[in-house]
Amino acid sequence: MQFGDIPLDQAVGAILAHSTRTPAGMLKKGRTLSADDVEKLRATGVTSVIAARLADDDVTEDVAAQRIGMLVRGDGTRLAEPFTGRANIVAEVAGLAVVDADAIAELNAIDERVTLATVRNLERVAAGQMIATIKIIPFAVPDTVLRHAEHEVACGLVRVAPFMPRVAGLVLTTVDGTKPQILDRRRDAVDQRLQSMGSRIGATRTVPHTVAAVADAIREFAAQKLSPILLFAASAIVDRDDVIPAGLVAAGGEIIRLGMPVDPGNLLLLGKLDRTPVVGLPSCAGSLKLNGFDWVLERILAGIEVTSADIASMGPGGLLKEIDSRPQPRAGLVNTDGDTARDAPQVGALILAAGRSSRMGVENKLLSEVGGRTIVRRVAETALRSTARPVRVVIGHRAAEVRVALAGLDVAFVENPDYAEGLSTSLRAGLADLPDACDGAIVMLGDMPEIAPDLVDRLIAAFAPKEGRCIVVPVAGGKRGNPVLWGRSLFAAMAEVSGDTGAKHLLGVNAEAIAEITADDTVHTDIDTPAELAALRARFVD
């Protein structure tokens, strides 16, 4: 790859290294310069640009990132569409990230231009959370570098061990003076932990704090095939001959380890009865604050065997006393170091389907059939085949018929009684109905049935509000089109729009926040007239 100051006369086809403003608009970094772009630059008095020109054996940054991503991703993950040389690996299920640290170090040592960063091994992750990112540093890398990585590095370096639903047995022991409310709090804390990972308590037994009573309860739960069996003692476990471990042995089980180098959580017992895990809980498990029991329970529920050596290795990072939070059932997980989890941005889809389609005459274009399905249903199906969630459909004119046209689809409807006042009212109604968890929304027009799910996913892949990419726009033939992805930071300004013009004027005042992706002419093709509908029917092939 040639990189440097390239004379403008030689710049067509080169990749622009730095965003440059022209009177006609912003030319973004990474843009392949066209002859028209060069003329726009020339009009500003520019005679050369810092740019890159690829060699014959160079692989562009997005393709390179995708190839490395396909090599790295394992079970329980998906690879997001690459953008600006970055491809993110996202968890498809909740569970524990299993990361091959040695192989990742080997990959990162192959060439400085290829980088891979991941979450920690056995970190708890939520479905939809980013767990790894591949970044190609320059605009391209030689194919030889990629082939070397593909030959030398094993596949599936990052995977997710999913939480599997379990039905647990809980034993609570009591001594004189044990208050019922303490037992209730302990049971609730254990139940919340289990439920946050898709499991539950199947049975609870409250027994005296004696070896015989504990042994009886363990045998009973094992006979019922409850797993794991959790033992919450009225008094902390301080020795292998104490009541809880002795009860496990009396029931026919074995002690794997007593004590762990994690604080809080030191006084944990790990054992088993045949193949059923048995855990004696430390007293701190009565609180939802992160403690060593969480690390052990997460692995058990993810189907990962926990050995004495595993627990012994938990010391580095095992000082948890200053951490105030622990993972909860929602997507706002907290990592073991207290940082907010690296959730991939959640993007919803708003389908605007409330208009009167006045230029169509008596026919409602959204309800017109193309290839056996109505136009609006095709748009909704596109949204549902993408990763955008939730999908909201704003309805107004002939609302009942639109509902019927979308029957059976996993969409929610938003009524807009003010639809006659223009598109802006539908936009406002739809944005107001999106859940707070949505970081952005793709605004889809109900009369654009040729938009592909892949385009929607590419918009989402390019969306990175933390990196300043708050608006994502498709571009074909140098002209912007629809749909457009808008970040939540723009929602308030969008709600102030009036009339039938939408929010496109906000693109001009937020130029620095825009990311453009290349697309085909479908991003310009909506249906406004009978002639356009006839042309659509003529070219549409199922």
At residue 81 the predicted structure's pLDDT band, cuts being 50, 70 and 90, is confident
How far apart are the C-alpha atoms of 485 and 471, rounded to whole Å? 6
Burial 270-301 (b: 16+ CB within 10 A, else e): bbbbeebbbbbbbbbbbebbbbbbbbbbbbbb
CA distance 134 to 63: 11
User: Look-up: residue for tokens 């140098």?
Assistant: 478
SS3 356: coil
Residue partners of 109: CB distance under 8 A and separation at least 6: none
The percentage of residues in the chain with a pLDDT greater than 70, rounded to a whole number, is 94
Contact 169, 203 (CB under 8 A): yes
Whole-number Å distance between alpha carbons of 536 and 487: 31
Domain residue ranges of the chain, discontinuous segments joined by +: 2-53, 58-162, 167-312, 347-539
pLDDT at 336: 38
* DSSP per-residue letters across 317-341: T-B-TT------SSS--B-TTSPBP
Tell whether the model's pLDDT for residue 254 goes beyond 90. yes
Q: What is the pTM of this model?
A: 0.77
What pLDDT is attached to residue 356?
Answer: 76
117-143: burial string, b at 16+ Cβ within 10 Å, e else: ebbeebbbbbbbbbbbbbbbebbbbbb
**Exposure b/e, 181-206, CB count within 10 A at least 16 = b:** eebeebbebbbebbebbbbebbebbb
pLDDT band at 362 (very low <50, low <70, confident <90, very high): low
Task: Round to whole Å and give the CA distance between 458 and 467.
Answer: 17
Looking at domain 58-162, its CATH class is alpha beta
The conformational region for residue 338 under phi > 0 = left, psi -120 to 50 = alpha, else beta, is left
3-class DSSP state of 54: coil
Instruction: Look at the domain 167-312 and name its fold.
Output: Molybdenum Cofactor Biosythetic Enzyme; Chain A (3.40.980)
Phi/psi zone of residue 370: left (φ > 0), alpha (ψ -120 to 50 degrees), beta? beta
pLDDT of res. 15: 93
In the structure, what pLDDT confidence band is assigned to residue 26 with cuts at 50, 70 and 90? confident
If we measure between CA atoms, which residue out of 372, 382, 384, 379 comes closest to residue 395?
379
| pLDDT of the residue at 520 | 94
Beta-bridge partners for 385: none
Confidence of residue 191 (pLDDT cuts 50, 70, 90): very high
| Residue in this structure with the two tokens 């059923």, named with its chain if needed | 276
What mean pLDDT value characterizes the chain? Answer: 91
- Decide: 160 and 194 in contact? Cβ < 8 Å: no
Query: Which neighbouring-strand residues pair with 247?
Result: none
Q: Which of 116, 119, 120, 100 is nearest to 108 (CA)?
A: 116
Residues 2-53: name the CATH superfamily.
Molybdopterin biosynthesis moea protein, domain 2 (3.90.105.10)
CATH architecture of the domain 347-539 equals: Alpha-Beta Complex (3.90)
Which residues are registered as beta bridge partners of 87? 134
DSSP for residue 343: B
d(C-alpha 379, C-alpha 377), whole Å: 5
Distance of alpha carbon 142 from alpha carbon 265, whole angstroms: 50
CA distances to 77, 233, 329 from 388, in Å: 17, 46, 21
Confidence of residue 27 (pLDDT cuts 50, 70, 90): confident
CA angle 210, 211, 212 (to 5 degrees): 95
Phi, then psi, of 516 in degrees rounded to 5 = -110, 140
Q: Which percentage of the chain shows pLDDT scores above 90?
A: 78
Residue 332 has pLDDT above 60, yes or no: no
Residue 286 to residues 190, 280, 358, 421, 480, Cα–Cα distance (Å): 7, 12, 64, 57, 56
Neighbours of 524 (CB within 10 A): 15
pLDDT higher than 70, residue 226: yes
- Over residues 139-173, the pLDDT tens digits come to 999 999 999 999 999 999 999 999 999 999 999 99
Q: Would you place residue 509 in the very low, low, confident or very high pLDDT band (cuts 50, 70, 90)?
A: confident
